[in-house]
Amino acid sequence: MRWVFIGAGNMASSLIGGLINGGAQASSVSVIDPNTDACNRVIERFGIQSASSFADLFAASSDDTIGLVIAVKPHIVEAVCRDFADAFGKLDDSTQKRLAPLFISVAAGVRASSMQAWLPAGTAIVRCMPNTPALLGLGITGLFATPECSEQHRSQASALLDTAGVTLWVDEEAKLDAVTAVSGSGPAYFFYLMEHMSAAAQALGLDAEAAETFAIETAFGAASMARTRELPPGTLRENVTSKGGTTAAALQVFDEQGTPSIVQKAMQAAHDRAVELGDQLAPQ
């Protein structure tokens, strides 16, 4: 398997690092990015190869399969797909069959159905929705495979994204909009809560550094307890909440202020915006 990354930003760097640390040979990984500085940083860091164009990439490849990872800004995806389709279409049938490309997209908002309109017919596509903790190997990624994907394709995509954290497959592409609402945008929700817990702690008398440390470490500890899956979050909350105690007093305010409804409405807004962006980026 030869991996080719279109884009050399943070997410691409994280996945490239995961591949190399997982035993992939640097010679089997390439990057294409018009941003020379970003491209050079990734090449120097991981010792991988670069390619100036798809045509050069095809000429240099002798592997049975190419995995192309689209890690560019959403508005650039169409141009990338069309450039690939143009270069791929100039190859003879035997070379096309040998390369058998698998497209894996981590570009937010661009639907696999849109990419199908821009790529050669029958191209296998896996669309992924990772989140920023993937940069630390602590992310979670939702994945969707088009019908053209084989079990091997799915396994290859999982192997790549597993290097960034947990992976979960969904059976309908529309469900990735829900994944976006809960995990794609989700880290910001927790940062937001930590930010305001820290500010409240300062108002109660703690200095800024101590307030931030208490908020961050509390979030980390709580998430770690929930991550064991020994008890569901609701039960963990109940176990911390003594009747008539301090936690109960705080949670009563959350309930009185309609926090459950606020969370639902916020996630619905994120979901609806994801749908809207997908519509805007779709072929007209």
Task: Give the model confidence (pLDDT) of 195-205 as tens digits.
Answer: 999 999 999 99
More confident residue, 62 or 57: 57
**What is residue 33's predicted lDDT score, i.e. its pLDDT?**
86
Q: In terms of domains, do 154 and 49 share one?
A: yes
The last residue of one of the domains, among 180, 206, 233, is: 180
What is the C-alpha separation between 245 and 202, in angstroms, rounded? 22
Q: In terms of domains, do 212 and 171 share one?
A: no
At 221, which CATH number? 1.10.3730.10
What is the SS3 string spanning the chain? Answer: CEEEEECCCHHHHHHHHHHHHCCCCHHHEEEECCCHHHHHHHHHHHCCEECCCHHHHHHHCCCCCEEEEECCCHHHHHHHHHHHHHHHHCCCHHHHHHHCCEEEECCCCCCHHHHHHHCCCCCEEEEEECCHHHHHCCEEEEEEECCCCCHHHHHHHHHHHHHHEEEEECCCCCHHHHHHHHHHCHHHHHHHHHHHHHHHHHHCCCCHHHHHHHHHHHHHHHHHHHHCCCCCHHHHHHHHCCCCCHHHHHHHHHHHCCHHHHHHHHHHHHHHHHHHHHHHHCCC
**Domain-located, residue 283:** no
Q: In terms of domains, do 203 and 124 share one?
A: no
**What is residue 232's predicted lDDT score, i.e. its pLDDT?**
98
The last residue of one of the domains, among 180, 203, 231, is: 180
At 164, which CATH number? 3.40.50.720
**What is residue 62's predicted lDDT score, i.e. its pLDDT?**
67
Q: In terms of domains, do 64 and 12 share one?
A: yes
Has residue 246 got a pLDDT over 70?
Answer: yes
**Domain-located, residue 135:** yes
Nearest alpha-carbon partner for 126 in 179, 107, 136: 107
Has residue 60 got a pLDDT over 80?
Answer: no
Query: In which band, very low, low, confident or very high, does the pLDDT at 64 lie, cut at 50, 70 and 90?
Result: low
Q: In terms of domains, do 131 and 17 share one?
A: yes
**What is residue 50's predicted lDDT score, i.e. its pLDDT?**
87
Domain of residue 32 covers: 2-180
Phi then psi dihedrals of residue 51, to 5 deg: -140, 140
In tens, the pLDDT along 18-52 reads 999 888 899 889 999 888 888 999 999 999 988 88
**Domain-located, residue 239:** yes
Instruction: Please state the domain count of the chain.
Output: 2
**Domain-located, residue 279:** no
Residue 81's identity, in one-letter code, is: C
**Domain-located, residue 284:** no
**Domain-located, residue 276:** no
In tens, the pLDDT along 66-87 reads 899 999 999 999 999 999 999 9
Q: In terms of domains, do 196 and 166 share one?
A: no
**Domain-located, residue 128:** yes
Q: In terms of domains, do 109 and 81 share one?
A: yes
Prediction pTM value: 0.93
Q: In terms of domains, do 90 and 202 share one?
A: no
Q: In terms of domains, do 158 and 205 share one?
A: no
Q: In terms of domains, do 173 and 201 share one?
A: no
Q: In terms of domains, do 156 and 18 share one?
A: yes
What Rg, from alpha-carbon coordinates, does the chain have?
Answer: 22
Q: In terms of domains, do 192 and 153 share one?
A: no
The last residue of one of the domains, among 180, 209, 224, is: 180
